[in-house]
Chains A and B, each alone.
Chain A
Amino acid sequence: MKTALLKMAGTSGLKLVQVRGEEFVYKEKTYQTNDLILETPISGTVYGTVLNYKGELELLGDAVHEPPYKKTPAAPVLYIKPANTISGHGMLIPLPEGVEELQAGAALGIVIGKKAVRIKEEEALEYVAGYTVVNDVSIPYSSVYRPPIMQKCRDGFCPAGPWIAAREDVENPDALSIRVFVNEVLQQETTTANLIRPVSKLIADVTEFMTLEEGDILLAGVSENPPRLKDGDTVKISIESVGSLQNRVAKEEEWMVQL
């Protein structure tokens, strides 16, 4: 059993629980994550990182040397998933009217444990409270030249959870397998070993130019060829030693009722 923090609906604060696979033990009772309504355990600002998987950059190919990009990124390229996007395990992902498909952005969420300013790579993990599973949902987009706000910042487009796995229980954040299942069929398999900037390096390079606060989440990146999602699809992202986050895509009208 491993230790994690989670938030049950209708209760205040995070609860310390023991977890194994998709079940957790609270006050000596065992629950499946789908048994209870779990709210997202995260509360800070969510910063995403683009082009941090080797395969993602490879996929850009020669375009990376041509306009508008001209060269490979020199520093972490970040974006923000704003507060309106955040949602929890089991919540619906809204499919906007007139949109056929979404893309599931499986990401390791690094949960910051204390204020981190200009941190050295060797000390970076001391600033990590734990890890969570994040689905950085987008309407598919091709260019990474302009921030795709309309494609990435929609309500409910950032499920995160089901819990925060304690840092101590994740032996090596740079060797975690990530699997994405759509309707229980494996659609994407990757590993954080493919990160261009591994977790410690990413924290060091980001905090060189901006402070991360306790509770902020830094996404390690989204691997190439993210699976597409249609109306009614159930998407599950499983990150080794961290957890499994599951959500279903629903038309906006159905999603509105859930609110």
Chain B
Amino acid sequence: MKRARVAYAGAVHEAVETNGQVKLDDGRLVKENEVVWLPPVNPRTVFALGLNYADHAKELDFQAPAEPLIFLKGPNAFVGHRGQTRRPAGVEYMHYECELAVVIGKKARHVKREEAYQYVKGYTIANDYAIRDYLENYFRPNLRVKNRDGCTPIGPWLTDAADIADPMNLALRTFVNGKLTQEGNTRDMVFDIPDLIEYLSRFMTLEENDIILTGTPEGLSDTAAGDIVVTEIEGIGRLENTIVNDEVFGIQDVKKEEPHAAHRGRIHKEH
């Protein structure tokens, strides 16, 4: 089953997918373009993986890491399907990242990889935007690059784990204004889902609705305000987002964030 959280006619609802339509928890059947899509789960702790596809690491001139490169995200970063993400004025390189998002279903501590899938509730899609202008070499990638308000669209559906026969063999694709720009397959992850659950649960307790964003394959490119970016994963769905400029947020007179001048010209090479 595919599940969602939506707003419709002035109220927030849980919903499920029924024949391509959205069935609300009060029984109403509505069209998918009639609802406001919210993130399908209220995230608790969210992990994001860097350099977890060998091809992407190569693209960034990096060796795949020996242990998972993980950073965390706050709740401010998430926005639902058909949401907007701000591209600040003056930014030179902002790119999408299509990622399989794994949602944890129950408390997990010291989980062995053989049992890891028992702790997965389901899967959704995330677009983990990055603004490389702000990349600095401290706790990299920093929250200023990766944890900006609304910079991580997620959804539209949470697909039950039972409905995905092999999560380690799913095609991922990104389209910018309808043009295919990124293509990969979850089978190319350096650390697969069981690896990640085993690794994290070795030193911390995972809880229901913790989310692991498993990294992105190669094929990153710059985006512009007005672009419609669709990230899709086989069997899970397609997540749409629109990039907007400062004006939409009424930002005019605040001082502009200074791009990181030293990185200009080669920012696309680093992670």
Contacts and interface: CB of A to CB of B under 8 A. Distances in A.
B257 A208 contact: yes
B204 A45 contact: no
A149 B70 contact: yes
A74 B258 contact: yes
Interface in B49-88: 69-77
Interface stretch (B30-38, B113-121, B139-147, B157-165): B139-147
A47 B251 CA distance: 25
Interface stretch (A22-30, A150-158, A238-246): A150-158
Contacts of A84: 45, 204-207
Contact of A50 (B71, B138, B149, B206): B138
Interface of B is mostly: loop
B203 A71 contact: no
A253 to B, nearest CB: 13
A155 B139 CA distance: 20
B148 interface: yes
B44 interface: yes
Contacts of A117: 149
Interface string A49-71: 01100000000000000011111
A50 B138 CA distance: 9
A75 B136 CA distance: 9
Contacts of A147: 69-72, 139-140
Interface in B101-151: 134, 136-140, 142-144, 147-149
A78 interface: yes
Contact of B138 (A73, A83, A154, A212): A73
B254 A210 contact: no
A211 B149 contact: yes
Given A45-B75, A147-B70, A82 B142 contact: no
Nearest to B143: A78
A210 B74 contact: yes
What 3 pairs between A and B have smallest CB-CB spacing? A80-B72, A82-B45, A77-B138
18 contacts: A45-B74, A50-B138, A71-B137, A74-B136, A75-B142, A75-B144, A78-B144, A82-B45, A82-B72, A118-B251, A144-B138, A144-B139, A149-B72, A153-B72, A153-B204, A209-B149, A210-B76, A210-B147
Interface of B: 44-45, 47, 69-77, 134, 136-140, 142-144, 147-149, 203-207, 251, 254, 257-258, 260, 262
